[in-house]
Amino acid sequence: MTGPALPAAPMEALLVEALPDEPGWRFEPKWDGFRCLAARDGDTVELVSKAGKPLTRYFPEVAAAVARIDGDRFVLDGELIIAIGDALSFDALQMRLHPAESRVRRLSAETPAQLMLFDCLECDGAPLADAPLARRRAALEALLRRRKVPGLRLSPWTDDPAVAADWLAHSGGALDGVVAKRADDAYRPGERAMLKVKQRRTADCVVGGFRYAKDSREVGSLLLGLYDDAGLLDHVGFTSSLPRAERAALTKRLEALVALPGFTGKAPGGPSRWNAGKATEWRPLKPELVVEVLYDQVTGQRFRHGTKLLRWRPDKAPRQCRMDQLRHELRPAELKALLPHRKESTRSP
């Protein structure tokens, strides 16, 4: 498009252990969705991903919503989210990235996405990227006040560190964490100019199998399982954060426990061919070892990413490691109560 200039990449956040508590910071929820830059020039709307890839064809209902904003030239920054029933669903977002237009159109009607907006880089043709956050946010709020458009939501913010800490403590899986931004900072494309604290979620898991490291006879990763309501051990993810100095001894310990079937429910990569001993294959274990791991998000009853090993749990019985300990997405009704409207600084989505 020849209209508003999209940044090469959105501004990003640096992971830190704690949120700042000195004056001058604003805090926003870090939503668990797809980052999205939305630009409009007259009748032309463009949605672009964090990596610079086009999203317009995958989310036509969001493009249509952006086209209904009362303004014909702007660039907005936000996060795409989808609610399925009464929960937010990352799986539903992934399903939209499909080559068949007919499927995209069907899903856009059955499970419409929303765009949670939190920044404005250009408004009514006036560039704002070099303006402080406080001014950009005011421009975004004024733009969205002109006309209420279904499918577009204004992400809340607060300048109260206690409120931000409460979001982290009680937001379940709907939020990926909390982001801190300087109120007087310009928009810095591609830079980690913000701070973020991610959710700390832990789970006690059964070690149902392991894989050797590539080109090695030492363990490379532990395969993690949780028991479902039927009493079956389902594979839910892995951890490879194993201290190098401990791997040789751990390998011997694991090899002494090798026995079929390992996972009695959902297994990693289908049937085990562990006798071959290849790094891409896995070896099943007797369900005797329990570990506590740190994870970020759950998608489809699996850890979305690799987990961090925190400690071994010899004090916990494997059968106590159940699916119900996982923290799934917060319900929208609960989220609305969690993020109350405050006239001064905190605004409801």
- Determine the average pLDDT of the residues in 250-266: 95
Residue 348 domain-assigned (yes or no): no
What's the predicted TM-score (pTM) here?
Answer: 0.73
Q: Verify that 263 and 319 share a domain, yes or no.
A: yes
Q: Verify that 52 and 170 share a domain, yes or no.
A: yes
Residue 222 domain-assigned (yes or no): yes
Domain end call among 199, 225, 249: 199
The pairing of beta strand 175-182 with beta strand 192-198? antiparallel
Q: Verify that 225 and 168 share a domain, yes or no.
A: no
* More confident call, 279 vs 136: 136
Residue 151 domain-assigned (yes or no): yes
H and E: helices and strands count for the chain: 7, 17
Q: What percent of the chain has pLDDT over 70?
A: 87
Residue 1 is predicted with a pLDDT of 43
Q: Verify that 102 and 48 share a domain, yes or no.
A: yes
- The domain in which residue 81 lies consists of 12-199
Q: Verify that 205 and 194 share a domain, yes or no.
A: no
Average pLDDT, the chain: 87
- And the tokens for 248? 């040789």
Q: Verify that 64 and 208 share a domain, yes or no.
A: no
Question: Could you tell me which of 171, 56, 51 has the C-alpha nearest to residue 113?
Answer: 56
Exposure string over 95-126, b if 16+ CB within 10 A, otherwise e? ebeeeeeeebeebbeebbbbbbbbbbbbbeee
Q: Verify that 182 and 229 share a domain, yes or no.
A: no
Residue 155 domain-assigned (yes or no): yes
Residue 331 domain-assigned (yes or no): no
Does the pLDDT at position 279 exceed 50? no
Residue 201 is predicted with a pLDDT of 81
| Catalytic residue flag (residue 30) | yes
- Residue 331 CA to residue 6 CA, distance in Å, equals 33
30, 181, 196, 198: which is the annotated catalytic residue? 30
Asked whether 33 and 89 are in contact (CB, 8 A), the reply is no
Tell me the pLDDT tens digit for each residue of 192-214. 999 999 877 889 999 999 999 98
Domain end call among 139, 173, 199: 199
Q: What is the number of structural domains in the chain?
A: 2
Torsion 97-103-105-111 (CA) sign: negative
Q: Verify that 301 and 253 share a domain, yes or no.
A: yes
